[in-house]
């Protein structure tokens, strides 16, 4: 996606937008066409516009905006040299008399994966269910000396910036100091907790974990995070042929728009997001398959204990 901007030459900006649109890009014209807000300077307007767009696309390219702190590629000329851009966030310089398009593509292939993975990952543990079938809330069931919510937190903590509990189910004292979020009002099921997290920190990626995985390990979390790549808005594993596993999965900031649209349309099953063209559905290594084994019945619990 390209974001074309005008610093004052509206005719040239519109012409550039037309060229970009003919390549199949979505084009947004800001600058002269962007309404000013009281007390908001140009840098603030750039930052707001790009932030809003970056949550909807894999890549936003900005023409203009040289005074902002955005990562920049600088096209040199007789008037604009490396000496004239000291202090700006310039990642590379291009020569007009060289092959700038090829050089730019080479730069993007190396830079974009690094930038994509630089978005912080937060961990969300879903603890909102009542679990009437098991007689005890799932998060309080114990395996190998720990409650299931403690096992989920222990799996996430080594690989995420922080862990947040999603929902207000009871938890053991060891988890009471963790941050908590209420479900989105009016929504039912896990999607209510997932959207609450993504609205709370929309600029973060989220790795969600339900509280019914007795065998979850940090290695499975590490594997999920290792699947992040440009263009993958979600990483939703498929462990069996029966279906995907959307609750122990990773969601990039761009996935929020997909989930919001689902919720607005009354579609509350997170597994359906796996059909989106930006969803990546890999198969974990066989040694990690048990990490997605969940408890749904007394028979499951008895089998695990046996």
The CATH number for 248's domain is: 3.90.550.10
Question: What's the sign of the alpha-carbon dihedral 230, 228, 70, 58?
Answer: positive
For residue 260, which of 201, 207, 184, 156 has the smallest C-alpha distance?
A: 184
Domain ends where: 117, 140, 156? 117
DSSP assignment, residue 240?
A: B
Q: Name the β-bridge partners of 115.
A: none
Question: What's the sign of the alpha-carbon dihedral 179, 184, 187, 191?
Answer: negative
Confidence band, pLDDT 50/70/90 cuts, at residue 174: very high
Is residue 238 located within the same domain as residue 129? Answer: yes
Is residue 143 located within the same domain as residue 218? Answer: yes
**108 vs 17, higher pLDDT:** 108
Confidence band, pLDDT 50/70/90 cuts, at residue 85: low
Confidence band, pLDDT 50/70/90 cuts, at residue 35: very low
| pLDDT tens-digit map of 261-274 | 999 999 999 999 99
Q: What is the 3-state secondary structure (H, E, C) of 57-125?
A: CCCCEEECCCCCCCCEEEEECCCCCHHHHCCCCEEEEEECCCCHHHHHHHHHHHHHHHHHHCCCEEEEE
Is residue 195 located within the same domain as residue 99? Answer: no
Is residue 86 located within the same domain as residue 27? Answer: yes
Is residue 87 located within the same domain as residue 99? Answer: yes
From the number of C-beta atoms within 10 Å of its C-beta (0-12, 13-18, 19+), residue 293 rates as: middle
Q: With 90 as the cut, is the pLDDT of residue 150 above it?
A: yes
Beta strands at 121-126 and 163-166: parallel, antiparallel or unpaired: parallel
Mean pLDDT calculated for residue range 115-130: 91
- DSSP 3-state of 16: helix
Is residue 9 located within the same domain as residue 34? Answer: yes
| pLDDT tens-digit map of 219-233 | 999 999 999 999 999
CA distances from 168 to 143, 171, 194, 239, 242 (A): 22, 8, 14, 29, 31
- Crossing angle for the helix pair 148-156 and 218-226, nearest 10 degrees? 40
CA distances from 260 to 100, 211, 270 (A): 39, 23, 11
Is residue 249 located within the same domain as residue 125? Answer: yes
- Residues above pLDDT 70, as percent of the chain: 77
Between CA 212 and CA 304 the distance in angstroms is 12
Confidence band, pLDDT 50/70/90 cuts, at residue 57: confident
Written as six digits, the tokens of 141 are 């069931």
Q: Which domain holds residue 221?
A: 121-305
Is residue 79 located within the same domain as residue 31? Answer: yes
**Confidence (pTM):** 0.85
Is residue 26 located within the same domain as residue 100? Answer: yes
Is residue 148 located within the same domain as residue 286? Answer: yes
Domain tally for the chain? Answer: 2
Domain ends where: 68, 91, 117? 117
Is residue 80 located within the same domain as residue 160? Answer: no
């Amino acid at each position: 996606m390209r974001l074309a901007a005008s610093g004052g030459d509206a005719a040239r900006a519109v012409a550039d937008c037309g060229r970009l649109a003919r390549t199949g890009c979505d084009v947004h014209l800001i600058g002269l066409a962007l309404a000013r807000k009281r007390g908001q300077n140009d840098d603030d307007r750039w930052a707001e516009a790009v932030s809003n767009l970056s949550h909807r696309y894999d890549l936003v390219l900005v023409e203009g905006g040289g005074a902002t702190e955005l990562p920049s590629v600088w096209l040199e000329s007789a008037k604009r040299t490396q000496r004239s851009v000291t202090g700006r966030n310039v990642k590379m310089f291009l020569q007009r008399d060289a092959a700038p398009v090829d050089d730019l593509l080479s730069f993007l292939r190396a830079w974009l994966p690094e930038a994509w993975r630089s978005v912080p990952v937060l961990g969300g543990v879903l603890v909102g269910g009542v679990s009437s079938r098991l007689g005890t809330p799932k998060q309080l069931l114990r395996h190998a000396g720990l409650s299931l919510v403690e096992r989920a937190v222990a799996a996430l903590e080594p690989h995420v910036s922080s862990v947040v509990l999603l929902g207000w189910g009871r938890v053991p004292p060891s988890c009471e100091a963790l941050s908590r979020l209420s479900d989105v009002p009016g929504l039912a099921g896990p999607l209510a907790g997932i959207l609450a997290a993504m609205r709370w920190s929309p600029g973060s990626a989220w790795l969600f974990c339900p509280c019914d995985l007795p065998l979850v390990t940090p290695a499975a979390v590490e594997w999920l995070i290792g699947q992040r790549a440009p263009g993958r808005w979600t990483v939703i594993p498929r462990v069996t042929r029966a279906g995907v596993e959307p609750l122990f999965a990773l969601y990039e900031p761009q996935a929020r728009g997909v989930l919001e649209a689902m919720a607005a349309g009354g579609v509350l099953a997170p597994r359906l997001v796996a059909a989106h063209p930006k969803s990546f559905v890999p198969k974990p290594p066989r040694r990690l398959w048990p990490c997605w084994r969940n408890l749904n019945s007394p028979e499951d619990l008895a089998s695990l204990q046996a």
